[in-house]
Homo-oligomer: A and B are copies of this chain.
Amino acid sequence: MTGSLSIVGIGLYDEQDISLRGLAEAKKADVIYLELYTSLMPAFSKESLEHLIGKKVIVVSRSDLEEDADTGILKTAHNLNVCLLIPGDPFVATTHISLRIAAEKLGIPTKVIHAASIISAIPGATGLQSYKFGRSVSVPFPRGEFFSETPYSVIRENRIRGLHTMVLLDLDVEVPRLMSIREALSILLKLEEEHGDGVVEEETLAIGIARIGSLDVEIQAGEVRELVGHNFGSPPHVLIFLGDLHFLEKEALEVFANLSDKAC
């Protein structure tokens, strides 16, 4: 067996977010796969990426990386050097972890090349301090009448400890649909109605962020009712609920997120 699997993050916004190391890795590979279903890169162009690498890039689906991996990508990686390109930084999605575990168990050497990720970009773009974030959480699309209570309880748990919460919004690239800040807030307000713990009320201060990593990133702080009405433009969208604000964080939000100095 002479193959290998390199998993390379390609960042947040477009094909220019790949690192020099990642690009070199792709150029060396015998086969290049690209996964675009775990998150959306707003301005990404497969053609431009192929032009940069100088090779064809094959787009793979969820089933290619999951149930069909053994007969597909992993089979290929037995004898060829395979490069799998992934939005953001690899492995924030469990599907990639499972694939890498499967490869190592088959004796296929694996390698990870990191890139910009929403997880570190959010503190950076807002000026909120990374060590003041509690666990992050996602708001899934409701299944029929069922709303997951997890986002509500995680925001509450973090708030009690004075910590911020990064709230990622669901996406279903195959439909395609991406949850907007407005949809997410309406789900959280419904959960507030059910639980009534004062976690996400009309007056609760939050921050909405759209297209982070792009040059037209939109960052707006305000009460939930204001953010519901704010036009954030095209996706992807992210929300932050705030814990206790350090004075430097407050100052940063005033400058970068139009936080009014009366707000807190």
Report chain B residues within 8 Å CB of A130.
Answer: 92, 119, 136
Q: Which of A18-26, A70-78, A139-147, A234-242 forms part of the interface with chain B?
A: A18-26
Can you name 13 A-B residue pairings with CB atoms under 8 Å? A19-B20, A88-B120, A91-B124, A94-B248, A101-B248, A104-B256, A114-B116, A114-B124, A116-B116, A117-B120, A119-B123, A134-B134, A135-B163
A231 on the interface (CB 8 Å rule)? no
Number of identical protomers? 2
Taking CB as reference atom, which chain B residue is nearest A130? B92
Report chain B residues within 8 Å CB of A256.
Answer: 100, 104
CA of A149 to CA of B146 in the docked complex: distance in angstroms? 43
A125 on the interface (CB 8 Å rule)? yes
CA of A213 to CA of B118 in the docked complex: distance in angstroms? 17
Q: Indicate with 1 or 0, residue by residue over A1-34, a CB within 8 angstroms of chain B CB atoms.
A: 0000000010111111111110110000000000
A124 CB to closest chain B CB (Å) equals 4
A52 on the interface (CB 8 Å rule)? yes
Report chain B residues within 8 Å CB of A118.
Answer: 120
Decide: A119 near B119, CB < 8 A? Known: A90-B124, A127-B91: yes
Decide: A129 near B94, CB < 8 A? Known: A89-B120, A105-B255, A116-B9: yes
Taking CB as reference atom, which chain B residue is nearest A11? B19
Most buried by B among A104, A112, A124: A124
A7 CB to closest chain B CB (Å) equals 9
A157 CB to closest chain B CB (Å) equals 7
Whether the pair B124, A131 counts as a contact (CB closer than 8 A) is no
